[in-house]
């Protein structure tokens, strides 16, 4: 097996890392302290192609496969200390742009996909409800056909990008008697009458990524807003989650590498009892654990991306990758804070960010428990 990246991949990774460090990380500490989303930095990231990586070039994307998308997102996660911005970009790409690319008709792609890929429109995916989280298809939001329109009613919560989004991909029940095959997806512009958006407030992690709730009060939309086929929303959402679970978590691999490098530098330079703390087995052991988690996470990630690109069975590999990376990033965040000691607890130092930004990763895109259920099913245990 050849694990080497080619010259084009190496150059892209280096360029994205440098851009993220020099541009996207500028004033990151202030933005994080204020939980502030920066549209100008979003635009600069989009100008580099970071809002449409897997979208074909004909729709203004980069046309990357899964593995090349992962490599780019990993470089972004390494260089950008504002993981909230990275998360917003990835949610926009994988949960919204990918479904429009893969399931939209030519008119929908022409109208939306160019501008989404270029970051001119910010998109948000709305599926979670107060009473349906992991059991997403038990949703209560409804879409009732009325001639050449649909009427949307209901509520959505924890919608990433909601306060700043221009377009929503909203999932609602078109057949209340069905579960998986009773859900459909709709493209709904922000200014649609009957649609209101509220800000979700501050978060512990990913705090610069805005979130909120949607309320649909007899929200009438044209039938042309239906994305894909009626009743096809669940397979479409599942397909988008394959991309999100696979590619978004590459950012955490990059962040884990950044935290490891910071911790090694600190362990070499910080002295206690007359020697660098890295010479103490209790400290070096933590750094070895962080290194092991990083390398195994990267191997699982790249394997999942390679399998997807080769057309091989990939669902189990992606679930394994998502589960492992999300759990490892939390543990490595804890270890980094322990290595830094009192400095690690100080938010001004920024060492706490890997831990705080990793905590939500065990929940979104399917909880760790859901990933274990998927893996168990592939093992023939379900």
Residue 17: Cβ-neighbour burial (10 angstroms; 0-12, 13-18, 19+)? buried
CA separation (Å) from 193 to 127, 188, 189, 197?
Answer: 20, 10, 9, 12
Q: What is the DSSP string of 348-381?
A: TT-TTHHHHHHGGGGTTTS-HHHHHHHHHHHTT-
Name the nearest CA neighbour of 25 among 10, 44, 53: 44
Name the nearest CA neighbour of 247 among 65, 40, 60: 65
322 is written with which tokens?
Answer: 């998502």
End-to-end CA distance of the chain: 33
Handedness of CA 22, 98, 365, 12 (dihedral sign): negative
- Helices 39-47 and 83-92: angle between axes, nearest 10 degrees: 60
Interior/surface letters 329-358, b for 16+ CB within 10 angstroms, e for the rest: bbbbbbbbbebbeeebeeeebbbbbbbbbb
Catalytic residue among 74, 244, 257, 315: 244
Question: In whole angstroms, what is the distance from residue 339 CA to residue 270 CA?
Answer: 10
DSSP 129: B
Contact predicate 154/137, CB 8 Å: no
Place of tokens 């541009």: 23
Q: Is 244 a catalytic residue?
A: yes
Kindly list the catalytic residues.
Answer: 244
């Amino acid at each position: 097996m050849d694990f080497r990246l080619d010259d084009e991949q190496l150059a892209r990774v280096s360029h994205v890392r440098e851009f993220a460090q020099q541009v996207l990380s500028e004033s990151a500490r202030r933005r994080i302290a204020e939980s502030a989303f920066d549209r100008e930095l979003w635009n600069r990231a989009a100008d580099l192609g970071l809002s449409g990586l897997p979208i074909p070039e004909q729709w203004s994307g980069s046309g990357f496969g899964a593995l090349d998308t992962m490599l780019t997102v990993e470089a972004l996660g390494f260089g950008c200390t504002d993981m909230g911005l990275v998360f917003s970009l990835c949610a926009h790409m994988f949960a919204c742009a990918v479904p429009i690319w893969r399931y939209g008709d030519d008119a929908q792609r022409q109208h939306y996909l160019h501008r989404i890929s270029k970051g001119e429109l910010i998109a948000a995916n709305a599926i979670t409800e107060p009473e349906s989280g992991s059991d997403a298809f038990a949703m209560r939001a409804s879409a009732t056909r009325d001639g050449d329109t649909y009427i949307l009613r209901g509520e959505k919560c924890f919608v990433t990008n909601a306060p700043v989004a221009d377009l929503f991909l909203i999932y609602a029940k078109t057949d209340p008697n069905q579960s998986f095959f009773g859900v459909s997806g709709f493209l709904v512009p922000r200014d649609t009458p009957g649609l209101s958006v509220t800000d979700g407030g501050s978060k512990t992690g990913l705090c610069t990524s805005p979130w909120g709730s949607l309320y649909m009060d007899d929200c009438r939309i044209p039938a042309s807003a239906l994305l894909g086929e009626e009743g096809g929303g669940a397979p479409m959402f599942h397909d988008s989650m394959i991309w999100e679970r696979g590619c978004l978590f590459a950012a955490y691999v990059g962040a884990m590498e950044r935290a490891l490098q910071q911790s090694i530098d600190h362990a070499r330079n910080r002295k206690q009892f007359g020697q660098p703390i890295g010479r103490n087995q209790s400290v070096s052991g933590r750094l070895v654990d962080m290194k092991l988690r990083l390398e195994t996470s990267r191997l699982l990630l790249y394997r999942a991306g390679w399998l997807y690109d080769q057309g091989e069975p990939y669902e189990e590999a992606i679930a394994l990758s998502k589960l492992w990376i999300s759990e490892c990033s939390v543990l490595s965040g804890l270890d980094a804070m322990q290595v830094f000691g009192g400095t690690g607890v100080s938010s001004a130092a920024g060492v706490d960010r890997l831990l705080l930004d990793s905590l939500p990763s065990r929940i979104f895109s399917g909880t760790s428990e859901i990933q274990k259920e998927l893996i168990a099913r592939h093992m023939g245990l379900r």
